[in-house]
Structure 1
Amino acid sequence: MNIKNSYLTIAVILLSIQLKAQMPEVSVIGAMKDMGTTYDLNIWLDTISNKPHLYGMGPYDKMKGEITVVNGKPYVASAFTDGAFEVGKDWNIRSPFFVYSNISKWNIFKIEGNLNSVHDIQEKVATIAKENGYNLDQPFAFKIKGEFDAVTAHIVTPRSPEVEGYREGVKSQKFSFENAKGEFIGFYSEHHQGVFTHMDGFVHVHFLMKDKTFMGHLDKISTKGKTITLYLPKNQ
């Protein structure tokens, strides 16, 4: 075999390996649109706790708060008292819908410019992913780390009197922070509106403070003139 044929053989092998490599699968149990008023519980988190690099999110129990799993660690946030919140770690919890993916390796990109809304995050993630060969027809997880000028996030609260933490007329509590360090954990999909994203967008994003003292569903963001870091899953 001559050198030219050797190179051709190697190229074919490498291409075959690349074609076999796939994005980490995104799994979904339940759907936002199917929760109704009963918020039937469809998953025990401990059934997926064996995934060492798990990332995921969904409501905690019957809208008792928020769940975010970051690199195999489950964070649970609740806000039963006016103006206060609690964050703990527990696998022995349930959710009416949950989206998750097991991701061991990430590609790293820099985000330049201002972010002034969740929609801006959606646009930045989609643009960078597309420019780097990601298939936007497939759902994928992402994370963004940095320091943010201002962040507002909410924690849902129970809607039924029989559920712990219920307060009449209160469906969520919002909390705002300035110069907040931490990370956004998100999932992008153009085909899961009403399932794990709202009907008016393609992303579902939670915010986890760097010191792990706060976690919630992202509502607003302001970041001006700062460089922050975007992580997209590597093929596995």
Structure 2
Amino acid sequence: MRILLVLSLTLLFVSCDNFRNSPSIEVVGQMRDVMWKGDLSGKISTDSLSRPNAYGLGPIEYLKGEVLLFEGQTFISKVIDSAVHRVAPVSAVKAPFFVYSKESNLNAISVAPSELSLKSIEELIDSLYFDYDKPLLIRIDGVFKDISVHSVNLPEGRSVSSPDQAHEGLTQFSYKNISGSIVGFFSRKHKAIFTHHDSFFHAHFISDDRSVMGHVDSVLFNSDNTNFKVSK
């Protein structure tokens, strides 16, 4: 009986670990702990992930901005005022939750000519990889007709126990016909862990000139003007 209990517990832990991570994509911390429990301190520092093929995203600890690990380089985005945010490369920053791939294996895929939004990107990946149950890294390079991004900017000293409180100070910025890259992570099993409760996809954008970066709220573009890569 004791042996059966040990085996059952072992299988449970293995199952939970597989739920959280895949061989190439890993997660530290959880979005829901940040949003609902106010667990805002950093759980990982990006200098531990600085490899040429590394990608990752999340917020800065204490919700002071956004983080994007892009080709092994860490970029942060911080709100200056309602009209301006500042993007900068840094050697390291901490995040309260972070999804990342240290050794991405991105492969180009063909996408039929179409106008795509954030939701239709999610639906496209869901349909193309309907039989794959692990997280995927997505990279989309090109020109984006319309895109809105935000950076979190929690006021100093604020506590958090709900998404509304976590988003206090959040500032959105919109752009048209901007060249750059969307980096996103797709998973059907990580809602409230690294994607929002109503989505399979969490993405950040960075412009080619590195002046714009943030969490993607909305996007519209023609697939003819972009290149898709997926880590599978």
* Unmatched tracts of structure 2, length 5 or more: 1-21, 160-166
Offset, 1:118: 1.5
Partner residue of 2:77? 77
TM value normalised by structure 1: 0.78
Partner residue of 1:30? 29
Distance (Å, rounded) in 2 between the aligned partners of 1:77 and 1:86: 6
- Residue 79 of structure 1: SS of its match in structure 2? strand
Q: Which string of whole-angstrom CA distances, capped at 9 and with x for unpartnered residues, describes residues 179-199 of structure 1?
A: 111110000100000000000
Distance (Å, rounded) in 2 between the aligned partners of 1:24 and 1:227: 31
Q: After alignment, is 103-112 or 67-76 more displaced?
A: 103-112
The aligned length equals 201
* Unmatched tracts of structure 1, length 5 or more: 1-22, 164-168
Distance (Å, rounded) in 2 between the aligned partners of 1:74 and 1:182: 16
Partner residue of 1:58? 58
Offset, 1:170: 4.2
What is the root-mean-square deviation of aligned Cα atoms in Å? 2.1
Q: 1:195 to 1:230 in 2, by over 3 A?
A: same
Offset, 1:127: 2.4
Q: Which string of whole-angstrom CA distances, capped at 9 and with x for unpartnered residues, describes residues 69-99 of structure 1?
A: 1111111110032211111111331110011
Distance (Å, rounded) in 2 between the aligned partners of 1:106 and 1:38: 32
**Are the counterparts in 2 of residues 103 and 233 from structure 1 also a CA contact under 8 Å?**
no
Partner residue of 2:202? 204
Pick the structure with greater CA Rg.
Answer: 1
Distance (Å, rounded) in 1 between the aligned partners of 2:107 and 2:92: 32
The amino acid of 2:30's aligned partner reads: A
**Are the counterparts in 1 of residues 54 and 101 from structure 2 also a CA contact under 8 Å?**
yes
Q: Which has the higher helix share?
A: 2
Partner residue of 2:188? 190
Map 1:121-136; keep pairs closer than 5 Å.
121-130=121-130, 135-136=131-132
Offset, 1:37: 2.5
Q: 1:191 to 1:162 in 2, by over 3 A?
A: closer
Q: Which string of whole-angstrom CA distances, capped at 9 and with x for unpartnered residues, describes residues 134-167 of structure 1?
A: x53101111011111111111111244379xxxx
**Are the counterparts in 2 of residues 24 and 233 from structure 1 also a CA contact under 8 Å?**
no
**Are the counterparts in 1 of residues 29 and 96 from structure 2 also a CA contact under 8 Å?**
yes
Distance (Å, rounded) in 2 between the aligned partners of 1:38 and 1:97: 9
Distance (Å, rounded) in 2 between the aligned partners of 1:66 and 1:216: 6
Q: 1:84 to 1:227 in 2, by over 3 A?
A: closer
Partner residue of 2:109? 109
Partner residue of 1:7? none
The amino acid of 2:43's aligned partner reads: N
Partner residue of 2:146? 150
Offset, 1:43: 1.1
Offset, 1:226: 3.5
- Residue 92 of structure 1: SS of its match in structure 2? coil
Partner residue of 1:48? 49
Distance (Å, rounded) in 1 between the aligned partners of 2:185 and 2:33: 19
**Are the counterparts in 2 of residues 24 and 102 from structure 1 also a CA contact under 8 Å?**
no
**Are the counterparts in 1 of residues 180 and 205 from structure 2 also a CA contact under 8 Å?**
yes
Distance (Å, rounded) in 2 between the aligned partners of 1:92 and 1:103: 18
